[in-house]
Amino acid sequence: INPGNVDIITSAVKPEHYPETGLKEIALSGRSNVGKSSFINAMCGRKGVARTSSKPGKTITLNFYNADNKFVFVDVPGYGYAKQSKSEREKWGAMIEGYLTKRETLTCVVQLVDLRHPPTADDISMYDFLKYYEMPVIVVATKADKIARGKIQKHISVIKKELEMEPEDQIFAFSSLDKRNLPEIMTALQKFV
């Protein structure tokens, strides 16, 4: 992706507002604070593309970005935010469910999890949900710089096992500090655009 050619297309809360670009879409999902914005910035090769950590009270929207006219990526608002109210959670659920299950141009979801910890219940629910709808998933395990080199494979195995990952889905350790595996992740995504 040419970093100079990544732009937000629109923020949407309902299908009528989703953009029609003719490009394939890749969604990025993960719990709040997992490092999704940092990953998006790394993927785009520059800072400030995605806003970091959405604050409570902010409108929950799906944000669509044109990635160098090659594909569209969609920043799905983070789940599991502690201070989310019940009504906010319900709104989030309805919007995400509708988008993930009905969007025909969506070909793959990048699910971000924290490499340091086993997946949360929300992480597992999200993966199960995506698999129920037969959505290809690429798991990106963030904050790998916080784990000793020799222990990374062990953490990867725990995530694979706890998510009961399908063999065709790939998982990559990632760090926004050193950007490890970014080329491999981009190559994996290429198949879906």
Binding site for ligand GDP (CB under 6 A): 30, 32-38, 52-53, 78, 142-143, 145-146, 175-177
Residue type (1 letter), 53: S
Nearer to ligand GDP, 23 or 73 (CB): 73
DSSP 95-159: HHHHHHHH-TTEEEEEEEEETTSPPPHHHHHHHHHHHHTT--EEEEEE-GGGS-GGGHHHHHHHH
CB of 6 to ligand GDP, least distance (A): 16
Pick between residue 23 and residue 31 the one whose CB is nearest to ligand GDP.
31
Nearest C-alpha neighbor of 110 from the set 13, 161, 181: 181
C-beta closer to ligand GDP: residue 49 or 163: 49
Q: How far is the CB of 38 from ligand GDP (least distance, A)?
A: 3
Bridge-based pairing state of the strands 170-173 and 137-142: parallel
Structure tokens at 127: 């993966």
Torsion angle in degrees (nearest 10) through CA of 36, 89, 103, 29: 20
Q: C-beta of 167: minimal distance to ligand GDP in Å?
A: 26
Shortest distance (Å) from residue 58 CB to ligand GDP: 12
Compare residues 28 and 106 and give the one whose CB is closer to ligand GDP: 28
CB of 172 to ligand GDP, least distance (A): 12
| Residue 81: how many other CB atoms lie within 10 Å | 20
Identity of the residue, 58 or 154, whose beta carbon is nearer to ligand GDP in the bound complex: 58
